[in-house]
């Protein structure tokens, strides 16, 4: 019975993750396709985060990662990603720019499917108290509904090909088809060392039991690309949450 309840809870978290990041989406539960309607988050107020819908719990995201307090991961921990460069669509959903995409992720020997990726500015997570200009979230879901989010920091440097295509497709407040291929792996660091902890979604309903894999190595984007994204969203980051005794593990490649 405990196993059944756990799986059901994981499926609910997955449904909220999909609905919280797009106007609507389709997910499979028990082999059947279910359309998940999003809640009214089209203009999520980041200046009034205390007023957000909040389920419950003390394992919230994002967090500050203190590199002096992380513990080495004992598991193998390897990550293998095979994300498609042919996106389904792209949407300015009122609180981020989201690209609906497909692909697979094998994380520590477990299989996940990519649902979408989106961006926050400035970064939601911090490392030793420091923000990055942008943070990308690649939202992956397992067959039983478990969510695994791969977070990637963007730092100022050379132009990024994949991010450039994302920016060129933005239509404010609209969902559009993506005709050009997106070099998704250009937005993932070649070295996939990461910090891992258990947390939550960072938008309402802030559901917990989300696995976070925060890449240690940032990816470069140009200053012009940062400025272009900031025209749409320059403060869509949730405030840092308390760790509340959780462990942060480190996997080194």
pLDDT for res 42: 56
Name the phi and psi angles at 19, rounded to 5.
Answer: -75, -30
Residue tagged active-site, from 95, 118, 125, 251: 95
Average pLDDT, the chain: 87
- 112: which 2 tokens? 């996940």
Helix ranges restricted to H, 65-216: 161-168
What does pTM read for this prediction?
A: 0.85
CATH number at residue 118: 3.10.200.10
> Taking the mean position of all CA atoms in its chain, how far away is CA 44?
17
Q: Which domain holds residue 238?
A: 2-251
Three-class SS state of 227: helix
Active site residue 196: no
Reported as a single tens digit per residue, the pLDDT across 169-212 is 999 999 999 999 999 999 999 999 999 999 999 999 999 999 99
Domains contained in the chain, number: 1
Reported as a single tens digit per residue, the pLDDT across 36-77 is 333 334 578 999 998 898 877 899 999 999 999 999 999 999
The mean pLDDT value for 212-233 works out to 98
């Amino acid at each position: 019975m405990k196993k059944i309840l756990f799986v059901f809870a994981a499926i609910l978290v997955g449904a909220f993750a999909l609905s919280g990041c797009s106007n609507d989406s389709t997910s499979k539960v028990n082999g059947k396709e279910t359309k998940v309607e999003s809640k009214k988050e089209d203009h999520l107020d980041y200046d009034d985060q205390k007023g957000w819908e909040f389920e419950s719990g003390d394992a919230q995201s994002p967090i500050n990662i203190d590199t002096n307090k992380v513990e080495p991961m004992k598991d193998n921990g390897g990550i293998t990603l095979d994300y498609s460069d042919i996106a389904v669509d792209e949407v300015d959903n009122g609180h981020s720019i989201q690209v609906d995409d497909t692909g697979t992720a094998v994380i520590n020997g477990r299989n996940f499917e990519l649902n979408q990726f989106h961006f926050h500015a400035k970064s939601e997570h911090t490392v030793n108290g420091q923000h990055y200009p942008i943070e990308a979230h690649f939202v992956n879901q397992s067959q039983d509904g478990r969510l695994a989010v791969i977070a990637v920091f963007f730092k100022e440097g050379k132009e990024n090909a994949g991010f450039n295509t994302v920016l060129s497709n933005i239509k404010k407040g609209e969902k559009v088809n993506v005709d050009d291929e997106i070099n998704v792996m250009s937005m993932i660091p070649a070295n996939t060392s990461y910090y891992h902890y258990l947390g939550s979604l960072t938008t309402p309903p802030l559901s917990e039991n989300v696995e976070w894999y925060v890449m240690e190595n940032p990816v470069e984007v140009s200053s012009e690309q940062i400025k272009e994204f900031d025209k749409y969203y320059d403060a869509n980051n949730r405030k840092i949450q308390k760790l509340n005794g959780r462990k942060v593990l480190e996997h080194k490649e």
